[in-house]
Amino acid sequence: MANVKNENGSKGGSMFSGIVIVVCILIGILVWKFIMGNPSNFEGGDNTGHPLPGNYLAMVYKGGSIVPVLMGLLLMVVVFSIERFSVISKAAGKGNLDTFMKNVQASIKQGNIDDAIVSCDKQQGSVANAVKAALVKYQEVKKEGFNSEEASETIHKEIEEATALEMPMLEQNLTILSTLVALGTLAGLLGTVTGMIKAFGALASAGTPDQAALANGISEALINTATGISTSALAIITYNFFTSKIDTLTYSIDEAGSTIVNTYRKFRGSLKA
């Protein structure tokens, strides 16, 4: 059942990611062509001419055909960041995660396993589900009378299985975000190179250099550089933020597992005494 659930989730996630990528690129192209390239943004109502003074949409439009790709990449970062934030927030549960962990650990240390399970039911989310699975297993090994080492191995195995079921979905689109870090820089660099080629082409023209072509080439290079850097910077920030969040969730599960195991060891020790 777990494998089927993971396979279905993976297929659904891949389809969602593919749709988002295509839609973002299309939106980038449409915005660049019809909004930024609107003739009203240019002198003489012609988008092949100079931008109106202070019209930044027209200035960005002059960045060339790489601009819509960069805009699509930037939009992807925003969309996938919002999607990951929503998923990770649900994984943490309804209430404050730190407060939940403190309450659960206090209940476990006091031997109130049923209270800890009730707290997990109220909290919900991936962390609470994994902790609840470990607590249920604790009650089972307690009834079976396992020794400390057997119980520790059994509980840890249950936690690993629960984590393997709950946590992978949190990292589903992080690979895309990490890829966008490099793609943003490379696409910006490509736009910069094409812009500089045009600029040097204007300088190399016979006779007096075409100052308008030279200015357009330099403008294209700088616009693509700025857009590419912005895309990569945002992708780096969001990727590191979500990676840190996932590490915190995983640590919370491991911490709860250690508390459960230590509590069982104390229970077995009290029986021997």
pLDDT, one tens digit per residue, over 170-227 is: 888 899 999 999 999 999 999 888 888 877 777 776 556 667 767 777 877 888 899 8
Rounded Cα distance between 116 and 50, Å, is 68
Mean pLDDT of 106-135: 87
Residue 20 banded pLDDT, cuts 50, 70, 90: very high
- Residue 177, pLDDT score: 92
Own/partner long-range contacts of 156-165 (Cβ < 8 Å, ≥24 apart): 156/257, 156/261, 158/133, 158/134, 159/130, 159/133, 159/134, 159/253, 159/254, 159/257, 161/2, 161/133, 162/129, 162/130, 162/133, 162/134, 162/253, 163/130, 163/250, 163/253, 164/2, 165/2, 165/5, 165/6
Identify the CA nearest to 76 among candidates 32, 30, 18. Answer: 18
Beta bridge partners of residue 42, listed in sequence order: 51
- Residue 2, pLDDT score: 47
Residue 51 banded pLDDT, cuts 50, 70, 90: confident
pLDDT, one tens digit per residue, over 79-102 is: 999 999 999 888 888 888 888 888
- Residue 168, pLDDT score: 78
pLDDT, one tens digit per residue, over 23-36 is: 999 999 999 999 99
**Around Cβ 263, how many Cβ atoms within 10 Å?**
20
Question: What are the CA-CA distances from residue 133 to residues 7, 136, 139 (Å)?
Answer: 22, 5, 10
